[in-house]
Amino acid sequence: MTISLDQTGKRFNYDWIFRGVSLTFQEGERYAILGPNGSGKSTLLQVISGAVQHNEGTVQYSTPEKPIAPDAFFRYCAIAAPYLELIEEFTLTEIITFHTQFKSLLPGITPAMAMEMVGLEKAAEKQLRNFSSGMKQRIKLALAILSDVPVLLLDEPCTNLDAAGVALYQGLINQYGHNRLIIVSSNDEQEYFMCKHHIRITDYKQ
């Protein structure tokens, strides 16, 4: 999977968040979008994901076999972000089952294994509204990283995680991130430790 941006820009009202972004994200590579809080990192990641529409330029998706329509890209990616909400009335078992109706887990991974990997197997029948913020973040990371998709989009993935949670995140990436395109929006090095390519959002400010 390749994602190409050509002179892409996004504005809110009359203020440009970024402009003139021409980048190609290649299959199997790892990229970090860096910048201070409020600089537009998350907005760029959302434009890449297709969740937010850009105002100028293009965003294109393709596999080695064919181009992918923008409205079909969601089938090829998984995203974890602090602003994504979980259905709080669901139990942990129910949220994983619900998720797998849209995206399969990686081959060989079962819902029970996913819970155990993030240390939440004892909370399988507990409603998510009773989970701590750190537990919810572990779930978001598991649902994204363990989905059988070629692209991972991670926005501040260690939000609300303690040291054990950060180590868990890094372990999941090391074990299951191979051969996937990974893009991380962050200003914390422990979140983008695996990224060889660094993109500074401030380079695209007007």
Rg for the chain, CA atoms, rounded: 17
Question: Which pLDDT belongs to residue 113?
Answer: 96
Question: Which pLDDT belongs to residue 162?
Answer: 96
User: pLDDT, tens digit, for every residue of 141-162?
Assistant: 999 999 999 999 999 999 999 9
Question: Which pLDDT belongs to residue 109?
Answer: 96
Question: Which pLDDT belongs to residue 117?
Answer: 96
Question: Which pLDDT belongs to residue 2?
Answer: 97
Bridge partners, residue 184, by sequence: 32, 154
What one-letter code names the amino acid at 129? R
Question: Which pLDDT belongs to residue 99?
Answer: 96
How would you label 160-192 residue by residue, b for 16+ Cβ within 10 Å and e otherwise? ebeeebbebbbebbeeebeebbbbbbbbeeebb
Low-confidence ranges of the chain (pLDDT < 70): none
**Fold (CATH) for 2-204:** Rossmann fold (3.40.50)
Domain-wise residue ranges, the chain: 2-204
Cα angle 112, 137, 110; round to 5:
15
Structure tokens at 98: 């619900």
Tally of residues, the chain: 206
Question: Which pLDDT belongs to residue 206?
Answer: 72
End-to-end CA distance of the chain: give it in Å, rounded: 30
DSSP code for 40: S
Bridge partners, residue 105, by sequence: 147
Query: Tokens 């409205």 — which residue?
Result: 71
What one-letter code names the amino acid at 75? R
